[in-house]
Amino acid sequence: MISEQKIRVLVGKPGLDGHDRGAKVVAAALRDAGMEVIYTGLHQTPEQIVETALQEDVDVIALSILSGAHMTLLPRVRELMRDAGMNDVLLTGGGIISKDDMQALGELGVGQLFGPGTTTGEIVEYIENWVDERGAKMGAAS
């Protein structure tokens, strides 16, 4: 029997933001959906997040940012991911992020971002679809 490998997701709280209830709810929902979740805790630097993601060999980095620093933190994480050769890892997340900022971040290579009112089911579905699509593309390239 061939076992399907679980999707590995790092959930992080970069910067000085001290509110992690939403990140913990999302982490629990991802676990309940069968994903393996690594939660880094509060006050992580972009460097710590990317280093942990490398060590844990994750498929997805999901960041919760409520501090308003998303236009600094997400591009920095994306840059560090590129420097580390993590081009096949999804960077996604959520928080208080305007639609204009979401679009600008998307142009920098950040995946879909989620705001208040998003259901955990929408987040799970997005991650599963992204991983399925990536797998299909990787299979086609072989």
Span 62-83, average pLDDT: 97
DSSP helix/strand/coil, 136: helix
Domain locations in the chain as residue ranges: 8-137
One-letter amino acid of 138: M
| Half-sphere exposure of residue 43: CA atoms within 13 angstroms, side-chain side | 2
Residue 134, pLDDT score: 87
Instruction: Please give the Cα distance from 93 to 128 (Å, whole number).
Output: 14
Instruction: Please give the Cα distance from 20 to 22 (Å, whole number).
Output: 6
Q: Where are the alpha helices (DSSP H) in 33-119?
A: 46-56, 70-83, 99-107
pLDDT tens digits along 81-132:
999 999 999 999 999 999 999 999 999 999 999 999 999 999 999 999 999 9
- Determine which of 6-15, 17-26, 47-56, 109-118 has the lowest per-residue pLDDT on average: 17-26
Q: Are 79 and 27 in contact (CB under 8 A)?
A: no
Over 50: is that where the pLDDT of 9 sits? yes
Residue 66 CB contacts under 8 Å (≥ 6 apart), including other chains:
17, 19, 22, 95, 96
CATH of the domain spanning 8-137, picked from 2.60.120.10, 3.40.50.1820, 3.30.590.10, 3.40.50.280:
3.40.50.280
How distant, in Å, are the alpha carbons of 6, 7, 42, 105 from that of 57?
12, 10, 20, 24
Residue 18, pLDDT score: 83
